[in-house]
Amino acid sequence: MILRNATLPDGTRHDIELKDGRVAAFLPPSNAEPGVLALPPLVDGHIHLDKTLLGLPWVPNQAAGNRVADRIEAERQVRAARTVPESETGASLVRQVLASGTLHMRSHVDIDNQLGLKNLHEILKVRERFRDLVTIQIVAFPQSGILRSPGTAELLDAAIAEGADLLGGLDPVGIDGDLDGHLDAIFAIVRRRGVGVDIHLHDGGEGGIAQIRAIAERTRAAGLQGKVAVSHAFALGSVPIEVAERTADLLAETGVAIMSHGPGGAAIPPLKMLREHGVRVFGGSDNIRDAWSPFGNGDMLERAMMIGYRANFRHDEELALAFDMVTAAAASVLGIAPYGIAVGGPADLVVVEAGSLAEVVAGRPRRKLVIKGGRIVAKDGVLVP
């Protein structure tokens, strides 16, 4: 297959030859007209495949309040009423994101002493079913806390043994009320199993910063530089900038990455400052049509737009940073390699009509083609059967 007259993100234009699942060659462009823009595959650095209610009749969202603890309780009720298995709704979501050009994702999967490993087993089925099309990295996620849900630490350990790739965590202070107790449990398993970590941290202010610093120090002590992420990290956006800058230096030094989904109601971390200080920042959908959020569709270009909107990005360079967060930066945090459009690399690309990355983020153009391993898997936003 030859993709004619395609501009790459770096502005160069070629006829791109795809052969045997690889990019075989960049040939001179067939004509002088501006053609399509070829993007590397989109990457969702934070999704919850087991939580989504996508494809089901609308489930009213009726959490009593907006605290994390209220949402956990509301979700228990939604979960109890669910009749369709998570593998089915999760598969619907994977099909939808695939059609929008996402070929790699990191999904957190709920684990607590009521669910046990049920959701993990359901999402392992989804991973197996779509294994030729999309990378699904699984985080064993203690949605109900670890200490306040006795038995969860053992379940998290078992989850890694059964195929989860990373260990999650949740507001050590805000939910478990014990910073060291929560982190002791996580890092004991991590050391035993040799996996990475991705911790949800909603706790804001100086208290949240103290938790981020503790996670970074433990990352250094465990020799896990480059394998740890903090998701949300609202605290970085809710303290004086000097405090956030000092924390950024520690994050850069210990290789701890920060995930943001462009939160609607909380402080967004100062993404440009973090990047300037050498911190890897990446993007994810987070909740999509579930007990936590009625919104979302898994389209990572739309997500990049929301991140840019919340971060008050205006310049092309800033929009390119938002694009990077849902492509190369997320791929780097997930350890997807090789990644990107290069001769000899995988023939994975997303083709759109746009003049620049900034225009892609602002306009979220229709995905003309999604190509995986040289094969067209979606056309004009619809999966090819």
- Residues forming contacts to Zn ion in the complex (CB under 5 A) are 286
Tokens 């004509």 — which residue?
31
Rounded least distance, CB 169 to Zn ion, Å: 11
Rounded least distance, CB 133 to Zn ion, Å: 23
Of the pair 286, 299, the CB lying nearest Zn ion is at 286
Rounded least distance, CB 170 to Zn ion, Å: 9
Of the pair 18, 229, the CB lying nearest Zn ion is at 229
Whether the Cβ atoms of residue 36 and residue 98 lie closer than 8 Å to each other: no
Rounded least distance, CB 211 to Zn ion, Å: 16
Of the pair 44, 286, the CB lying nearest Zn ion is at 286
Of the pair 157, 286, the CB lying nearest Zn ion is at 286
3-state SS assignment for residue 342: coil
Measured between alpha carbons, how far is residue 83 from residues 51, 87, 96 in Å? 13, 12, 21
Structure tokens belonging to residue 11: 């502005």
Of the pair 22, 48, the CB lying nearest Zn ion is at 48
Of the pair 35, 90, the CB lying nearest Zn ion is at 90
Rounded least distance, CB 51 to Zn ion, Å: 9
Rounded least distance, CB 46 to Zn ion, Å: 6
Of the pair 230, 251, the CB lying nearest Zn ion is at 230
Per 3-state DSSP, the chain is made up of helix, strand and coil in percentages (nearest 5) of 35, 25, 40
Whether the Cβ atoms of residue 167 and residue 139 lie closer than 8 Å to each other: yes
Structure tokens belonging to residue 121: 């087993």
3-state SS assignment for residue 340: coil
Of the pair 219, 231, the CB lying nearest Zn ion is at 231
Structure tokens belonging to residue 328: 């190369």
3-state SS assignment for residue 327: coil
- Alpha-helix runs per DSSP H in the chain: 68-81, 86-99, 118-129, 152-161, 179-193, 205-221, 241-254, 271-276, 300-310, 316-325, 328-334, 357-363
3-state SS assignment for residue 136: strand
Rounded least distance, CB 64 to Zn ion, Å: 20
Residue nearest to Zn ion (CB): 286
Whether the Cβ atoms of residue 353 and residue 29 lie closer than 8 Å to each other: no
Whether the Cβ atoms of residue 186 and residue 164 lie closer than 8 Å to each other: no
Rounded least distance, CB 110 to Zn ion, Å: 10
